[in-house]
Amino acid sequence: MIKDIRTYKLCYEGINDERDALAIKGLAEHPMEIVVTEIETSDGYVGYGESLAYGCSDAVQVTIEKILKPLLLKEDEELIEYLWDKMYKATLRFGRRGIAIAGISGVDTGLWDIMGKKAKKPIYKLLGGSKRKVRAYITGGYYSEKKDLEKLRDEEAYYVKMGFKGIKVKIGAKSMEEDIERLKAIREVVGEDVKIAVDANNVYTFEEALEMGRRLEKLGIWFFEEPIQTDYLDLSARLAEELEVPIAGYETAYTRWEFYEIMRKRAVDIVQTDVMWTGGISEMMKIGNMAKVMGYPLIPHYSAGGISLIGNLHVAAALNSPWIEMHLRKNDLRDKIFKESIEIDNGHLVVPDRPGLGYTIRDGVFEEYKCKS
């Protein structure tokens, strides 16, 4: 029985000045901020989940505490599917996307953490998976006033030296000519055996994305992520049809219903989603299995804390995903939230074989990284 649900707003102030195109264009800032949900059962089990909180942590926390928590107290924590439906239907009038689904995401992941701990099995095994390692690509190449072309080359060379065979570079904030030069410089230093993807963070118009996509084709780019606004599915489908470079996305979509439309319209070639905002582990598994039925690869997105990274990793292992996204930017909410270190082996993330998520929250971390406002 669910005894209590507690939430924590965590912020990391030490993130550097690196930005993507959305931030540079003044359309969105991405503070390193998460909401952690802690679920306690009457028989002493505790599970943890993470919710999207890009500047909206107050709203996410209130949604969990005031709307979702009263629905869940005294319920059987093992009835995960039933509880997901209960939360979703209770928030239909104002949810279905955004903050409500972000709240559900954290709760759902926490419930799976508890289920694994009770069963004494890692989540990926409960989901039927067997894969112990998932190949990771590193997202870097952010824009920064302190990062000239030489430092960009050094950064990407470092990732390859660590054993990663895939990298992703931010584009869209500079002119197309400047971004192409950045990509050419990176190719020179990483060689032909490393896959290079790009991420425009939704900033291009259709015409701009089409032009940039044709330039990217000539460079042999691995995939072109979120070229345009997520809502323009028909235009994204036109891009996917007209361009040889694969279109990837859209992590900014929510739940199986939105992803069904993305896939039905053939708006992408590669499906990307994230447990912290698509509805948690339960919903990501549904999206992943639907992608299998419709013939799409699923590569999990990642951008925030350690809990969502590990949640994504369990789902990737269960779905046999070919890749998973990883960042190596300085981020204590990823690297210092657990007692254990996140294990990387020659460019792969190692799936923990310990019960639940497989990681232990470090003592005092909620107080240490508590948001100041």
List CB contacts of 54: < 8 A, sequence separation 6 or more.
28, 29, 30, 31, 33
Structure tokens at 333: 């909410």
> 136 lies in a domain?
yes
- What is the DSSP-derived secondary structure letter of residue 6? E
Long-range CB pairs of 83-86 (<8 Å, 24+ gap) are 83/107, 83/108, 83/111, 84/108, 84/279, 84/280, 84/282, 84/283
- The verdict on 115 and 181 lying in the same domain is no
> 8 lies in a domain?
yes
pLDDT one-digit tens code per residue, 38-68: 999 999 999 999 998 888 999 999 999 999 9
Q: How many CB atoms lie within 10 A of CB 263?
A: 20
Nearest to 238 by CA among 261, 207, 215: 207
- Strands lying side by side in the sheet with 46-51: 2-11, 33-41, 46-51
> 149 lies in a domain?
yes
In terms of pTM, does the model score above 0.75?
yes
Range of the domain at 257: 125-350
- The verdict on 81 and 129 lying in the same domain is no
The predicted pLDDT at position 22 comes to 86
Parallel, antiparallel or unpaired: strands 46-51 and 195-199? unpaired
> 356 lies in a domain?
no
- The verdict on 63 and 110 lying in the same domain is yes
- The verdict on 154 and 262 lying in the same domain is yes
The predicted pLDDT at position 30 comes to 64
- Please work out, in degrees rounded to the nearest 5, the angle formed at the alpha carbon of residue 331 by the alpha carbons of 333 and 188: 145
Confidence of residue 249 (pLDDT cuts 50, 70, 90): very high
pLDDT one-digit tens code per residue, 297-318: 999 999 999 999 999 999 999 9
- The verdict on 260 and 324 lying in the same domain is yes
- The verdict on 172 and 276 lying in the same domain is yes
